[in-house]
């Protein structure tokens, strides 16, 4: 079931949570709403769910071509998983999962045997076959998360909505559950939207990432698109680490200096450099533990710090130590005009020389 949200505006008193936001979620896709807290991502999810309604007169929500704007959550056919699960403490796991089936109007309600069979099936799906008689208080965080998911799925929703689904879990469980959710979503092919502030989670899990900031959508695209072709400085800064420099040269009248972004993994360090695009730096610190080698450097020309990420093999080859002098070359940079011209089309430099040719030294 596809979801279309059009021109959604939502204010809470003087505070604007969503400012004329539109979003398309294609059928069967897994979509991440990514943004910092206060960006409006949870509000958008809740409006899609029908737990919240957009400002009167604004906006429209369609599920598969049907207008559901004024239909409350219980009748929209959505499964909603809450950040803190909201499992009913006084019910067993099985009773929790069965809840949605047992509150259906008497005419539509399935027989007790059928409900029990369905609960059993769901318990198997979430790999908690033997824990149906337990109470939520007796489960671990990851288990509770899966019970919440099973409870939402019991009523066979057309759309699955998850609010910060892995927020309250420790790193290892989070990773496992993420993989499990991905696999599971593919298998049943349910249109799924989840909210997260963790860029790694969004990039790893989603078919499509919706980057939100300040009550607006900044960019929509596949993980690769938003990472490699960020549409705004916000997106590039929010998605992973990045070095930020002021560009030299002559900015357009009335604007501040343009801003250049370089990902740490696009910074190459060399001991000796003969070309004309190298920047002289001093090594401040070398972090050699972890998957990558990371080096903190200071530019000798303007004192800016530069973070570089390189393979551990390369790091060993270079044999850098704090205090050494070296050169860095930026393999790939991205330039955003600043200030008044922020809405101008993005200039995009593929390599250092191109920029130098354009008259803007780094």
Partner 1 sequence: MSRSHRSVIPGFGLSLGLTITYLSLIVLLPLSAAFIKTSGLTWEEFKTAVFSPRVLASYRISFLASLAAASLNCVFGLVVAWVLVRYPFPGRRVVDALVDLPFALPTAVAGIALTALYAPNGWIGQLFEPYGIKIAFTEIGIFIALTFIGLPFVVRTLQPIIEELEPEFEEASASLGANRWQTISRVIFPQLLPALITGFAMAFARALGEYGSVVFISGNMPMRTEITPLLIITKLEQYDYAGATAIAVVMLIASFALLLIINLLQKWSRRHHAV
Q: Which residues of 98-130 are buried (b: 16+ CB within 10 A; e: fewer)?
A: bbbbeeeeeeeeeeeeebeebbeebbebbebee
Q: Which residues in the 264-293 window bind partner 1 by CB under 8 A?
A: none
Which of residues 22, 66, 104, 214 is near partner 1 by CB under 8 A? 104
Residue range at the interface with partner 1 (CB under 8 A); choices 4-12, 146-154, 173-181, 322-330: 146-154
Decide: helix, strand or coil at residue 184. Answer: helix
Q: Identify the CA nearest to 76 among candidates 206, 193, 239, 180.
A: 193
- Residue closer to partner 1 by CB (options 103, 252) is 103
Render 285-309 in DSSP notation, one character per residue: EEE-SSSSEEEEEEETTT--EEEEE
Binding status of residue 78 toward partner 1 by CB under 8 A: yes
Binding status of residue 99 toward partner 1 by CB under 8 A: yes
Q: Give the position of tokens 């930026």.
A: 330
The values of phi and psi at residue 335, to 5°, are -115, 130
- Do 147 and 85 contact (CB within 8 A), yes or no? yes
Binding status of residue 137 toward partner 1 by CB under 8 A: yes
- Do 270 and 307 contact (CB within 8 A), yes or no? no
Residues contacting partner 1: total by CB under 8 A: 29
Report residue 59 as tokens: 């906006």
Which of residues 27, 36, 55, 84 is near partner 1 by CB under 8 A? 84
Binding status of residue 313 toward partner 1 by CB under 8 A: no
Binding status of residue 86 toward partner 1 by CB under 8 A: yes
Q: Provide the minimum distance between the beta carbon of 181 and partner 1 in the complex, in angstroms, as a whole number.
A: 19
Q: Provide the minimum distance between the beta carbon of 87 and partner 1 in the complex, in angstroms, as a whole number.
A: 8
Sign of CA dihedral 88, 93, 97, 102: negative
Binding status of residue 100 toward partner 1 by CB under 8 A: yes
Q: Identify the CA nearest to 227 among candidates 199, 247, 201.
A: 199
The half-sphere exposure of 339 on its side-chain side, counting CA atoms within 13 A, is 10
DSSP 8-state class, residue 254: T
- Residue closer to partner 1 by CB (options 20, 52) is 52
- Do 115 and 101 contact (CB within 8 A), yes or no? yes
Which of residues 10, 151, 174, 360 is near partner 1 by CB under 8 A? 151
Binding status of residue 73 toward partner 1 by CB under 8 A: yes
Q: What's the CA gap between 342 and 259, in Å, rounded?
A: 10
Decide: helix, strand or coil at residue 322. Answer: coil
Going from the C-alpha of 199 to that of each of 35, 48, 166, the distances in angstroms are 8, 22, 13
Q: Give the position of tokens 């973070």.
A: 307
Binding status of residue 152 toward partner 1 by CB under 8 A: yes
Binding status of residue 72 toward partner 1 by CB under 8 A: yes
Residue range at the interface with partner 1 (CB under 8 A); choices 80-88, 124-132, 172-180, 261-269: 80-88
Which of residues 8, 30, 51, 131 is near partner 1 by CB under 8 A? 51
- Residue closer to partner 1 by CB (options 72, 189) is 72
Which of residues 7, 22, 55, 138 is near partner 1 by CB under 8 A? 138
- Residue closer to partner 1 by CB (options 142, 264) is 142
Which of residues 71, 91, 125, 296 is near partner 1 by CB under 8 A? 91
Which of residues 56, 57, 70, 90 is near partner 1 by CB under 8 A? 90
DSSP 8-state class, residue 134: S
Binding status of residue 50 toward partner 1 by CB under 8 A: yes
Which of residues 7, 22, 27, 103 is near partner 1 by CB under 8 A? 103
Residue range at the interface with partner 1 (CB under 8 A); choices 88-96, 169-177, 213-221, 309-317: 88-96
Which residues contact partner 1 by CB under 8 A? 49-51, 72-75, 78-80, 82, 84, 86, 88-92, 99-100, 103-104, 135, 137-138, 151-152, 154-155
């Amino acid at each position: 079931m596809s979801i279309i949200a059009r021109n959604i505006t939502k204010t809470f008193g003087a505070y604007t949570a969503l400012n004329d936001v539109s979003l398309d979620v294609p059928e069967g896709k897994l979509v991440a709403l990514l943004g910092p807290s206060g960006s409006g991502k949870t509000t958008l999810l809740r409006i899609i769910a029908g737990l919240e309604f957009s400002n009167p007169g604004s906006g429209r929500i369609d599920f598969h071509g049907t207008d559901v704007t004024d239909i409350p959550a219980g009748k929209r056919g959505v499964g909603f998983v809450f950040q803190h699960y909201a499992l009913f403490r006084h019910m067993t796991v099985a009773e929790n999962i069965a809840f949605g089936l047992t509150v259906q109007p008497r005419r539509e309600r399935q027989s007790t045997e059928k409900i029990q069979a369905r609960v059993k099936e769901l318990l198997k799906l979430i790999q908690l076959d033997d824990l149906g008689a337990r109470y939520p208080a007796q489960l671990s965080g990851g288990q509770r998360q899966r019970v919440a998911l099973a409870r939402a799925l019991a009523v066979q929703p057309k759309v699955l909505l998850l609010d910060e689904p892995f927020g309250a879990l420790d790193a290892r469980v989070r990773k496992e559950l993420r993989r499990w959710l991905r696999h599971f979503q593919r298998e049943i092919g349910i249109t799924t939207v989840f909210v997260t502030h963790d860029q790694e989670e969004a990039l790893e899990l989603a078919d499509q990432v919706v980057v939100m900031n300040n009550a607006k959508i900044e960019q929509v695209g596949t993980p690769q698109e938003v990472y490699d072709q960020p549409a705004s400085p916000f997106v590039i800064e929010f998605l992973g680490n990045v070095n930020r420099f002021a560009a030299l040269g002559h900015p357009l009248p009335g604007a501040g200096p343009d801003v250049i972004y370089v990902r740490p993994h696009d910074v190459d360090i060399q001991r000796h450099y003969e070309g004309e695009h190298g920047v002289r730096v001093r090594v401040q610190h070398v972090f050699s533990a972890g998957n990558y080698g990371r080096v903190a450097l200071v530019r000798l020309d303007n004192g800016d710090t530069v973070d570089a990420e390189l393979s551990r093999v390369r790091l060993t080859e270079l044999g850098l130590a704090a205090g050494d002098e070296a050169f860095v070359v930026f393999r790939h940079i991205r330039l955003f005009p600043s200030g008044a011209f922020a809405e101008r089309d993005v200039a995009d430099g593929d390599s250092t020389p191109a920029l130098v040719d354009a008259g803007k030294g780094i």
